[in-house]
Structure 1
Amino acid sequence: MSVLDRSAATLDQRVLLADGTPVDLRALGPGDAPALVRLHRELPERDRWLRFATVSSHGIEEYATATAGSGQVWGAFLGAELVGAVHVAPAPGPPEEAEVGVTVGHRVQAHGVGTALLERAVRESVRRGIRRWTAEVLVENGAMRRVFADLGLPVTHEREGPNLHVTIALPDPDDLAAGTAFAAAALARTAHAAHAGLGPVLRPRSVAVVGAGRRPGSVGRAVLDRIDAAGLAGRVHVVHPQAAQIAGHPTVASVDLLPEAPDLAVLATRPAALPELAEALGRRGARSLLVITSGLAAAGVDRALLDAVHRHGMRLVGPNCLGVVDTDPHVRLDATFAPGSAPAGPVGVVTQSGGVAIAVLEALRGLDLGVSSLVSIGDRYDVSSNDLLAWWSEDTATRVAVLHVESFGNPRAFARLARRVGARIPVLAVRAASSSVGARAAASHTAASATPAVRRDALYRQAGVQPVDDLGELAGALAALCWSAPVTGDRVAILGNAGGTNVLAADACVAAGLAVPPLSPATRERLDALLPTTAATAGPVDTTATVDAETFAACLAVLRAADEVDAVLTVVCPTALNDPGTGLGGALAAGDGHPVVAVALDQRRRVTALTDPGGTPRAASFAEPADAVRALAHLVRRGADTARDPGRPLAAAEYPVDVAAARAVVGAVLDRGGDWLDPGECAALLAAAGLELLPTRVAGTVEDAVVAAREVGGPVALKVVADGVLHKSERDGVALSVAGDDAVRRVVQGFAARFGDGWRGAVVQPMAPAGAEMLVGVAGDPDFGALVTAGVGGTGTDVADRRWHRLVPMSTTDLTELLDDLPLDRGIAARLVDRDRLGDVVARVARLAELLPQVAEMDLNPVVCTPDACRLVDARIRVAPVAGSRNA
Structure 2
Amino acid sequence: MADVTADGRPRPGLPYPAAWEADVVLHDGSTTHVRPLRPDDADALQAFHVGQSERSTYLRFFAPLERLSDRDLARLVNVDHVDRVALVAVSSGDDGDQIIGVARYDRIGTDEAEVAFNIADAHQGRGLGSVLLEHLAAAARERGVRRFVAEVLPQNGRMISVFKQAGYEVRQRTEDGIVAVGFDIDPTDRSLAVMADREHRAEARSMRGVLHASSVVVVGPGADAADTFAGRLASRVLANLLVGDPSVVVHAVGVPGDVPTPVYERLADVPGPVGLAVVAVPAATATDVTRDLARLDVHGVVVLTAGYAEEGPDGRDRQRAVLRAAHGAGMRVVGPSSYGIVSTREGGLQLNASLAEVPPPPGRIGLFCQSAPLSVALLAAVRRRGIGVSQFVSAGHRADVSGNDLMQFWADDDGTDVVGLYLESLGNPRKFSRVARRLSLLKPVIVVTAGRSGQVVPPGHAVRPTHAPPRTLAEVLRQSGVVRVENTHQLLDVAQVLAHQPLPAGRRTAILASSASVAALVAEAVAAAGLVVSGHVQLLAEDAPPDRVRAAVDALYDDADSDVVVVVRIPTVGGPDTVLQDCVAQRAARSRRTTVACIYDLHGLTPELTARDDDGREWTVPAYSTPEDAALALGHAARYARWRAGDRGRPLHPEGADTRSARRLVAGWLAAEASGDGAIALDADRTAQLLATVGVKPLPSTRVRDADEAVAAAERIGWPVALKTTVAALRHRADLGGVRLDVADEAELRADVAQVLALAAGFETTDGDEPLEVQAMAPHGSACVVRSVEDPLFGPIISFGLAGDASDLLGDIAYGVPPLTDVDVSELVRTARAAPRLFGYRGLPALDVAALEDLIARVSVLADDLPELRSLELNPVVVSEHGAAVLGARASISRADRADATRRLPRV
Task: Work out which of the residue numbers 773, 789, 806 in structure 1 matches 2:799.
Answer: 789
Q: 2:874, 2:887 within 8 Å by CA — same for their partners in 1?
A: yes
Which deviations, in whole Å up to 9, do the C-alpha atoms of 1:384-424 show, x marking residues without a partner? 11211122122222221111222223333323322333333
Residue 333 of structure 1: aligned partner: 351
1:838 aligns with 2:852: yes
Task: Work out which of the residue numbers 261, 276, 296 in structure 2 matches 1:249.
Answer: 261
Residue 663 of structure 1: how far off its partner (Å): 4.6
Question: Secondary structure of 1:72's partner?
Answer: strand
Residue 532 of structure 1: aligned partner: none
1:688 aligns with 2:693: yes
Distance 1:854 1:573 in 2: 61
Residue 6 of structure 2: aligned partner: none
Q: 1:24, 1:77 within 8 Å by CA — same for their partners in 2?
A: yes
Residue 518 of structure 2: aligned partner: 501
Which deviations, in whole Å up to 9, do the C-alpha atoms of 1:141-188 show, x marking residues without a partner? 34334433432334455455654x253544644x2xx4x2x3333223
Distance 1:161 1:838 in 2: 55
Task: Work out which of the residue numbers 440, 461, 466 in structure 2 matches 1:422.
Answer: 440
Going from structure 1 to structure 2, the CA distance change for 1:232 and 1:642 (only over 3 Å counts) comes to farther
Residue 5 of structure 2: aligned partner: none
Distance 1:838 1:36 in 2: 56
TM-score with structure 1 setting the length: 0.84
Deviates more, 1:125-134 or 1:416-425: 125-134
Deviates more, 1:114-123 or 1:663-672: 663-672
Distance 2:606 2:772 in 1: 65
Residue 277 of structure 1: how far off its partner (Å): 2.7
Going from structure 1 to structure 2, the CA distance change for 1:429 and 1:565 (only over 3 Å counts) comes to same
Residue 88 of structure 2: aligned partner: 75
Going from structure 1 to structure 2, the CA distance change for 1:62 and 1:797 (only over 3 Å counts) comes to farther
Going from structure 1 to structure 2, the CA distance change for 1:478 and 1:275 (only over 3 Å counts) comes to same
1:400 aligns with 2:397: no
Distance 2:770 2:377 in 1: 61
Question: Secondary structure of 2:814's partner?
Answer: strand
Residue 318 of structure 1: how far off its partner (Å): 0.8
Going from structure 1 to structure 2, the CA distance change for 1:677 and 1:90 (only over 3 Å counts) comes to closer
Going from structure 1 to structure 2, the CA distance change for 1:678 and 1:145 (only over 3 Å counts) comes to closer
Distance 1:632 1:641 in 2: 14
Distance 2:267 2:734 in 1: 67
Q: 2:571, 2:600 within 8 Å by CA — same for their partners in 1?
A: yes
Residue 324 of structure 1: how far off its partner (Å): 1.5
Going from structure 1 to structure 2, the CA distance change for 1:438 and 1:753 (only over 3 Å counts) comes to farther
Question: Secondary structure of 1:760's partner?
Answer: coil
Going from structure 1 to structure 2, the CA distance change for 1:323 and 1:773 (only over 3 Å counts) comes to same
Q: How does 1:650-689 map to 2 (within 5 A)?
A: 650-652=652-654, 654=655, 656-657=657-658, 659-661=660-662, 663-664=664-665, 667-668=668-669, 671=673, 673-689=678-694
Residue 268 of structure 1: aligned partner: 280
Which deviations, in whole Å up to 9, do the C-alpha atoms of 1:109-150 show, x marking residues without a partner? 122111211232344445556555443333333433443343
Going from structure 1 to structure 2, the CA distance change for 1:401 and 1:12 (only over 3 Å counts) comes to farther
Residue 621 of structure 1: how far off its partner (Å): 2.5
Distance 1:166 1:469 in 2: 57
Residue 586 of structure 1: how far off its partner (Å): 3.5
Residue 324 of structure 1: aligned partner: 341
Task: Work out which of the residue numbers 627, 630, 647 in structure 2 matches 1:628.
Answer: 630
Residue 823 of structure 1: how far off its partner (Å): 4.5
Residue 53 of structure 2: aligned partner: 44
Distance 1:290 1:235 in 2: 17
Q: 1:265, 1:288 within 8 Å by CA — same for their partners in 2?
A: yes
Going from structure 1 to structure 2, the CA distance change for 1:201 and 1:601 (only over 3 Å counts) comes to closer
Q: How does 1:199-348 map to 2 (within 5 A)?
A: 199-204=208-213, 205-211=215-221, 213-214=225-226, 218-231=232-245, 233-240=247-254, 246-260=258-272, 262-282=274-294, 286-297=298-309, 298=311, 300=315, 301-329=318-346, 332-338=350-356, 340-348=358-366
Q: 1:427, 1:465 within 8 Å by CA — same for their partners in 2?
A: yes
Deviates more, 1:865-874 or 1:756-765: 756-765
Q: How does 1:51-130 map to 2 (within 5 A)?
A: 51-57=60-66, 62-68=71-77, 69=79, 71-79=84-92, 80-90=97-107, 97-125=112-140
Which deviations, in whole Å up to 9, do the C-alpha atoms of 1:228-267 show, x marking residues without a partner? 23255333333239x6x64233333333443446433322
Task: Work out which of the residue numbers 500, 505, 509 in structure 2 matches 1:492.
Answer: 509
Going from structure 1 to structure 2, the CA distance change for 1:720 and 1:497 (only over 3 Å counts) comes to same
- Count of aligned residue pairs for this structure pair: 836
Residue 533 of structure 1: aligned partner: none
Deviates more, 1:383-392 or 1:296-305: 296-305
Going from structure 1 to structure 2, the CA distance change for 1:266 and 1:543 (only over 3 Å counts) comes to closer
CA RMSD, 1 decimal: 3.7
Question: Secondary structure of 2:622's partner?
Answer: strand
Q: 2:342, 2:359 within 8 Å by CA — same for their partners in 1?
A: no
1:880 aligns with 2:882: no
Residue 600 of structure 1: aligned partner: 598
1:583 aligns with 2:580: yes
Q: 1:789, 1:803 within 8 Å by CA — same for their partners in 2?
A: yes
Bigger RCO of structures 1 and 2 (CA < 8 A, at least 6 apart) = 2
Q: 1:209, 1:224 within 8 Å by CA — same for their partners in 2?
A: no
Distance 2:730 2:206 in 1: 49
Q: 2:666, 2:868 within 8 Å by CA — same for their partners in 1?
A: no
Distance 1:492 1:288 in 2: 47
1:375 aligns with 2:404: no
Distance 1:847 1:757 in 2: 32
Which deviations, in whole Å up to 9, do the C-alpha atoms of 1:714-773 show, x marking residues without a partner? 563322257xx7987599893444843244134325535521598633241445554323
Q: 2:219, 2:234 within 8 Å by CA — same for their partners in 1?
A: yes
Which deviations, in whole Å up to 9, do the C-alpha atoms of 1:297-320 show, x marking residues without a partner? 325333333333344332211111
TM-score with structure 2 setting the length: 0.83
Distance 2:456 2:442 in 1: 36
Q: 2:802, 2:835 within 8 Å by CA — same for their partners in 1?
A: no
Q: 1:700, 1:761 within 8 Å by CA — same for their partners in 2?
A: yes
Residue 820 of structure 1: how far off its partner (Å): 4.0
Q: 1:76, 1:83 within 8 Å by CA — same for their partners in 2?
A: yes
Q: 1:655, 1:844 within 8 Å by CA — same for their partners in 2?
A: no
Residue 430 of structure 1: how far off its partner (Å): 1.0
Residue 716 of structure 1: aligned partner: 722
Going from structure 1 to structure 2, the CA distance change for 1:579 and 1:394 (only over 3 Å counts) comes to closer
Task: Work out which of the residue numbers 362, 369, 375 in structure 1 matches 2:380.
Answer: 362
Residue 227 of structure 1: how far off its partner (Å): 2.1
Question: Secondary structure of 2:390's partner?
Answer: strand
Residue 601 of structure 1: how far off its partner (Å): 5.4
Amino acid at match of 1:418: A
Task: Work out which of the residue numbers 471, 475, 478 in structure 1 matches 2:492.
Answer: 475
Residue 480 of structure 1: how far off its partner (Å): 0.3
Residue 822 of structure 1: how far off its partner (Å): 3.9
Residue 637 of structure 1: aligned partner: 639
Q: 1:804, 1:822 within 8 Å by CA — same for their partners in 2?
A: yes
Q: 2:114, 2:150 within 8 Å by CA — same for their partners in 1?
A: yes
Q: How does 1:805-844 map to 2 (within 5 A)?
A: 805-823=815-833, 826-827=836-837, 829-830=839-840, 831=844, 832-844=846-858
Distance 1:168 1:763 in 2: 52
Q: How does 1:179-194 map to 2 (within 5 A)?
A: 180=190, 182-194=191-203
Q: How does 1:377-392 map to 2 (within 5 A)?
A: 377-392=395-410
Residue 381 of structure 1: how far off its partner (Å): 1.3
Q: 1:266, 1:289 within 8 Å by CA — same for their partners in 2?
A: yes
Residue 193 of structure 1: how far off its partner (Å): 1.6
Task: Work out which of the residue numbers 131, 134, 137 in structure 1 matches 2:152.
Answer: 137
> Unpaired segments of 5 or more residues in structure 2?
1-17, 458-464, 900-908
Distance 2:301 2:711 in 1: 73
Residue 784 of structure 1: how far off its partner (Å): 2.9
Residue 17 of structure 1: how far off its partner (Å): 1.4
Distance 1:639 1:253 in 2: 55
Question: Secondary structure of 1:457's partner?
Answer: helix
Amino acid at match of 1:833: L
Amino acid at match of 1:747: V
Amino acid at match of 1:620: P
